[in-house]
Amino acid sequence: MDLLTRIESDMAFESNVRKSYIYRFLMEFQLWLPIWVLYLVDERGFSYKQFTLLDTPFFLLIVLAEVPTGAVADRWGRRVSLMLGSGFFAVAILVFGVADSYAIILISYVAWGLALTFQSGADIALLYDSLKEAGREDEFQKINGRLWALRSVAVVLALLLGAPLAAATSYTFVITLSALIAACALPVAFFMHEPRHRDTVHEPYFSTIATGVREVWRAPALRYIILYSGIISVGVFGPLVFQQPTLSDFGIDVAYQGFLQAPVRAAGIVSALSIGWLLARTSERAVFFALPVVLSICTLALAGIDQSWVLVAFIGLGLVGGLQNPLFANYINHRIPSERRATMLSVQSLVLSLLLAGAQPLAGFFADTWGLQAMYLMYAVAIATCGMVALILWDRAEHDDPEVTGSDDGSRERLSEIVSV
């Protein structure tokens, strides 16, 4: 390859970085974010149980389609996978916004789940491979951090702008506009340059899961921390789904919904960026034990305290949500051998999806039958009991297995590297 051709190639792959920023911003800048539950409940007339039941096939599909859609990325390219992801996502959001029956909205959820699996991992893989082709792979961590920050900014902007726009127009208009924004990501993916990558032979899906389950089961500390991470994730995601109807019950107008939801997202951003600072002043184990306590206090506040505490309680959920991902990623990745990392991490994703698929309809049943406060009380009890039991089992397993015991100092150093931008 001559010098001119090499320079052109490097410039082409470096342009993927800018296009990755644009692609992710468009996919995250979804104006329906502050009103989608209100749309289902107020405009479509769904009960809480009905809209949470939509999550069961959604999360199960994500589990079942993860590996097949990954094979598409490996066989035809990450660029094609991203195009399919943005295309399915745009169609799913459009159908979601105009459908007037439960069955059609369920179909939109299926397309939505497929969209997420086509994007899952393909965007990061394409970004890393592009930097590697341009000789800049050492910058991946910094650029990926910027990408994460940009995604967070897009979500906060969508919350701040989407709700007032919905109040001035309609839910359907905002959702349809979001579909058009997502569709704009398709040509961005089309004009990306596909890096060279080796053909990958995939193990059959159920064999992959079975292998991962066996590996995790043989390591009790990993087994219980993966279960614990799933419980904490459900404890954050579940109550936050009901934030919109809770604010509505307190008389918050649609136009102001986004202004009260944005601080929760902002709290998550701040806590994620502060995890290194936090671990420099306390131990990883102490933070693990603090998470279910904070979640239980917040959900108990939502279950029984007056309106003035509502926003504070939701911000507490946001803080835990921001902490959990880098915290668990640091612990789990450090204790998984590199050659088995993808397989064992697939089990973590499987556990979370299965817990959400079961917990969401149960929460909807509680909300419909006994009200939102009873639903929050259910989460408080479940987090306090299940979370603490899983954590105590993990603590005992880690003490009994010195192979998985790492120093707090090492954890702090590694986590500081993970969250640095």
Q: C-alpha dihedral over 136, 71, 353, 86, to 10 degrees?
A: 70
Determine which of 114-118, 176-180, 347-351, 353-357 has the lowest per-residue pLDDT on average: 347-351
Instruction: Say if 1-194 and 203-421 have the same CATH topology.
Output: yes
Identify the pLDDT of residue 412.
46
CATH number corresponding to 1-194: 1.20.1250.20
Q: Which residue has the higher pLDDT, 278 or 4?
A: 278
Q: In the predicted model, is pLDDT for residue 18 greater than 70?
A: yes
Residues 158-172: what's their mean pLDDT? 96
Q: Which residue has the higher pLDDT, 5 or 116?
A: 116
Identify the pLDDT of residue 409.
46
Please report which confidence band the pLDDT of residue 306 belongs to, taking 50, 70 and 90 as the band edges. Answer: low
Determine which of 156-170, 188-202, 225-239 has the lowest per-residue pLDDT on average: 188-202
Q: In the predicted model, is pLDDT for residue 12 greater than 70?
A: no
Residues 181-204: what's their mean pLDDT? 77
Identify the pLDDT of residue 171.
96
Q: In the chain, what are the domain boundaries?
A: 1-194, 203-421
Q: Which residue has the higher pLDDT, 14 or 219?
A: 219
Please, are residues 126 and 15 in contact by the beta-carbon 8 Å criterion?
A: no
CA-wise closest residue to 350 among 204, 216, 202, 235: 216
Identify the pLDDT of residue 120.
74
Identify the pLDDT of residue 275.
83
Identify the pLDDT of residue 243.
95
pLDDT per position as a tens digit, 372-383: 999 999 999 999
d(CA 363, CA 375): 6
The top-level CATH class assigned to 203-421 is mainly alpha
Q: CA gyration radius for the chain?
A: 22
pLDDT per position as a tens digit, 89-133: 999 999 999 998 999 999 999 899 888 888 876 777 788 778 887
Q: Which residue has the higher pLDDT, 2 or 240?
A: 240
Residues 183-197: what's their mean pLDDT? 85
Q: In the predicted model, is pLDDT for residue 260 greater than 60?
A: yes
Q: In the predicted model, is pLDDT for residue 3 greater than 50?
A: no
d(CA 304, CA 94): 38
Please, are residues 229 and 352 in contact by the beta-carbon 8 Å criterion?
A: yes
